[in-house]
Amino acid sequence: MEPYKIFLVDDHTLFRNGLRGLLDSREDCVVVGEASTGEEFLEQLQECDADVIFMDIAMPGIKGDEATARALEIRPDLKVITLSMFGDDDYYFRMVSVGAKGFLLKSSDIDEVIAAIETVATGGSYFSQELLDSLVSNLRTTPQPENEQVDEESLSERELEVLLEICRGLSNQQIADKLFISKRTVDKHRANILAKTGCPNTANLVVYAIKHNLVEI
């Protein structure tokens, strides 16, 4: 198997060098490029041949959400993992809305970094457990406007089961194995859930499900 190709975007040289060293020390990863600002990343975008982009949120100049949005307009195939030291949920909502597929705190250990790379590179979405716990805690203590309330009964019992496993980070095949149903059935349930909730992708769906108390994580 070819190693995953990683591009790092972060304005902190020490952090970037440390992460590069950890990734380059492994046989399953190789860092193919770096940028210290969103502008530098966008300048290199046309030549960027990476499976996963690690994107810092708060950088001088173009912030991570704007850089991600611009990049995905040009290269919709890019898979972006958000990196942050912040606990401000608004940052993550913005990254979700522009199309980021993974979310990691900079305090994450290398095993979690690799898990996020593998999940996102193969088409999934990844939330660090620490961040997920924070989102659950903060979102559930924030009252939602009446016009944002969602009727849980609009999702079937099986769809709610599938939704819970999606929020836990399981792939469609893993969900199928756990629930003793076919992957094709899970694919259909996932498509129905996205359609009913109006979410464009899994990352949006996770935040949506937590925000509207559709799952207990």
- 139-187 pLDDT, tens digit per residue, is 656 555 544 545 556 899 999 999 999 888 788 888 999 999 999 999 9
Say what the pLDDT of residue 115 is.
92
Of the candidates 51, 38, 59, the one whose C-alpha atom is nearest the C-alpha of residue 81 is: 51
CATH number for the domain whose boundaries are 4-138:
3.40.50.2300
DSSP bridge partners of 4: 29
Of the candidates 216, 217, 156, 151, the one whose C-alpha atom is nearest the C-alpha of residue 190 is: 156
For 137-141, which contacts have Cβ atoms below 8 Å and span 24 or more sequence positions? 138/89, 139/89, 139/207, 139/210, 139/211, 140/210, 140/213
Q: Coil, helix or strand for 52? A: strand
Q: What is the mean pLDDT of the chain?
A: 87
Higher pLDDT, 45 or 211: 45
* Pair 21, 49: CB distance under 8 Å: no
Of the candidates 171, 189, 173, the one whose C-alpha atom is nearest the C-alpha of residue 118 is: 171
Angle, CA of 55, 60 and 64, to the nearest 5° = 25
Say what the pLDDT of residue 20 is.
96
Q: Which CATH number fits domain 145-211: 1.10.10.10, 3.40.50.10610, 1.10.3720.10, 1.10.260.40?
A: 1.10.10.10
Tell me the domain boundaries of the chain.
Answer: 4-138, 145-211
Report the distance separating Cα 42 and Cα 106, nearest Å.
22
pLDDT in tens, 58-90: 888 999 999 999 999 999 999 999 988 766 566
Say what the pLDDT of residue 32 is.
96
Amino acid code (one letter) for 158: R
- Enter the DSSP assignment of 47: G
Share of the chain above pLDDT 70, in %: 89
End-to-end CA distance of the chain: 34
Higher pLDDT, 203 or 115: 115
* Pair 21, 47: CB distance under 8 Å: no
Q: Provide the whole-model pTM.
A: 0.77
Say what the pLDDT of residue 192 is.
94
Spacing of C-alpha 61 from chain mean position: 23
CA distances from 128 to 21, 106, 113, 138 (A): 21, 10, 9, 15
